[in-house]
Amino acid sequence: MKQLYILITIGTIALTGCKDDTLQEPKAPVDRVRLELTTHYDGAPFDLNTVHQTQEGYTVQFTKLNFILTNLENGSEILSDAMVYKFENNPSLIWEGVGDFTKFSSLSGNAGVDTNENHLDPAGLALTNPLNIQNAGDMHWGWNPGYIFLMVEGKADTTAAQNGVFDMNFLYHVGKDPLLRNFSFTDLTWTRLNDSLHSATLSLDMSKIFNGTNHDVDIKLERTSHTMPGQEPLSTKIIENFLEGLTGQ
């Protein structure tokens, strides 16, 4: 009996030792970053249900705001190949993913999709790619001419009475290779949300869509562009005004 007790004790120690040998150090949390957006209209709160005034005194209400940002990087450091933003899905979130915030005090990239990717089959991209058709959704016209870089839609009261009765719709779908535009943000401020997540916030002034420094858009006269032949000048105004309104914080 004594010998049996000794054998059991030795076996228990051996098993315990094996178990201890297989213990693994807990994995460190993966660093993640979040790019957020605050949207306003010349300083006033912005939502798809609010009304605003254009520089001509028209009352406007936006019904859609979507855009695509690609090739976001800081020098050789890549944050993300693509981001698809849709206000209706999450007004405050542009993108969240793996990244080290300390490497991105500045960001540069494209508003839109460059020629190399703009004409790929969006259904053939990985499901994890934001530009896959299931993720991009209505931000793609078809394999040719490609992606819609910026989508702004709404309705307006352009009457003299300005009694709140919307008499027209406006719609700007900006795309095609020549409308690709670059942007850059410097001195971004990153905020710690928890041990492994930091966020930086961009600001978008939607009044700039109609009233940019270099481009004025009168929605009564310039209400629609699908970037079709002859509509490129208006689409140029819209994409450049949009980027003027998009700033870092």
pLDDT for 15 beyond 50: no
Q: What local confidence, expressed as pLDDT, does residue 242 receive?
A: 98
CB 248 within 8 A of CB 202: yes
Condensed to tens digits (0 to 9), the pLDDT of residues 186-235 reads 999 999 999 999 999 999 999 999 999 999 999 999 999 999 999 999 99
Q: What local confidence, expressed as pLDDT, does residue 49 receive?
A: 86
Q: What local confidence, expressed as pLDDT, does residue 144 receive?
A: 86
Q: Model confidence at 30, in pLDDT bands (50, 70, 90)?
A: confident
Which amino acid, one-letter code, is at 15? L
Average pLDDT along the chain: 91
Percent of the chain whose pLDDT exceeds 90: 85
CA gap 145, 172 in Å, rounded:
16
pLDDT for 169 beyond 50: yes
Output Rg (C-alpha) for the chain, integer angstroms.
Answer: 26
CA gap 83, 99 in Å, rounded:
14
pLDDT greater at residue 20 or residue 137: 137
19 CB contacts (<8 Å, ≥6 apart)?
A: none
Check residue 208 and report its DSSP letter: G
Q: What is the pTM of this model?
A: 0.88
Percent of the chain whose pLDDT exceeds 70: 89
